[in-house]
Amino acid sequence: MAIVINECIATVEIEAWLGGLPQLFARIHIKELSIRSVLHPLLTQLDEKQPRALMYPLSVLLKSPVAERKSAAESLMTSMTSLKAHSSELVKEALMVSLELICVAILWVETWRVKASKTLRASTLGKATQATLLKCLTFCCHCTRLLREAQKPDVKAISSRALGKI
């Protein structure tokens, strides 16, 4: 079946798939071989024609908390020779921008609350060890420090950090 689908995909102009990139990337981690044997070659073909269109979604997936997605993105990134050969500087810059956008978008208060709730639930059920509780406490302290720093932005440090990466 994958062979037939790949033959049909070959008859469609590759640029037609650009509108469906979010849906394609949302399924990048599917383990079923018949799906992967269609999806990954399609994304590799897109890389050859439109490497810039793949860069940001791929950089976001490289930072995914879901191990399967991250692994699939890493695998795809290593197979995308065009992206690296023609656009190595683009890859570096997109990864930097992606990291900054993710840092800005994280709601630290929500992250802190979720982590504390999960640990409390685990300790209530007797599943948490002392190490787990200590790890959570350390994480919550780190989030609290970040929240305090966010309330008093150091413009000099932020701009020098941004300029240093460009």
81 lies in some domain: yes
Q: How far apart are CA 69 and CA 4, in angstroms?
A: 26
The residue to which tokens 């439109």 are assigned: 50
User: What's the domain count of the chain?
Assistant: 2
With a CB cutoff of 8 Å and minimum separation 6, the contacts of 75 are 40
Q: Are residues 54 and 111 in the same domain?
A: no
Q: Are residues 76 and 21 in the same domain?
A: yes
Count, residues in the chain: 166
CB 123 within 8 A of CB 117: no
Mean per-residue pLDDT pooled into runs of 10, the chain (166 residues): 80 86 88 86 84 81 84 83 67 76 66 76 74 76 68 52 49
72 lies in some domain: yes
The reported pTM is 0.55
Three-state DSSP class for residue 66 = coil
Q: Are residues 80 and 115 in the same domain?
A: no
Average of per-residue pLDDT values in the chain = 76
Q: Are residues 4 and 76 in the same domain?
A: yes
Q: Which domain holds residue 22?
A: 1-88
pLDDT of 146 reads 66
The residue to which tokens 């780190």 are assigned: 142
